[in-house]
Amino acid sequence: QVLLWESGGDSVQAGGSLRLSCAVSGDSVSRYCMAWFREAPGKEREEVAHIAVDGDTSYVEDVKGRFTISRDNAKNALVLQMNSLKPEDTAMYYCAGVQHPWCPLVRTAYAYWGQGTQVTVSS
């Protein structure tokens, strides 16, 4: 069974940085399309970024140039480096995975989810 466990969430001031990590157990992270989602109060869960099996990445428009998604194969983990944080980045962040070469267009296609880690950015 594949399990995902996020960590790294915290409270920071605007302009600060955080590094989220998602530990993967039960299989190799390199075999999966992996993604980060976030859910703010009163809003739908949205995809922030994903990384396909071949390493191709994609980002939602408002995090481009600020966030970087990557795999740490040595630690079997997914990482999200977040720089220049804004108050609107405040949300619960979730990692998700699906064993497929490319990443799906809908979140319901992701088979595995972590429990989330809270990111709070104050102005």
d(CA 10, CA 14): 12
In tens, the pLDDT along 22-61 reads 999 999 999 999 999 999 999 999 999 999 999 999 999 9
pLDDT at 101: 84
Which amino acid belongs to residue 82?
Answer: M
**pLDDT of 102 higher than 90:** no
Decide which of 92 and 105 is more confident: 92
> Could you tell me which of 75, 80, 74 has the C-alpha nearest to residue 94?
80
**pLDDT of 64 higher than 90:** yes
pLDDT at 38: 98
Q: What is the mean pLDDT of residues 96-105?
A: 92
pLDDT at 10: 98
pLDDT at 49: 98
Q: What is the mean pLDDT of residues 94-102?
A: 93
Average predicted confidence (pLDDT) for the chain: 96
**Token couple for 10:** 């915290």
Rg (Cα) of the chain, in Å, rounded?
13
The pLDDT confidence band at residue 105, using thresholds 50, 70 and 90, is: confident
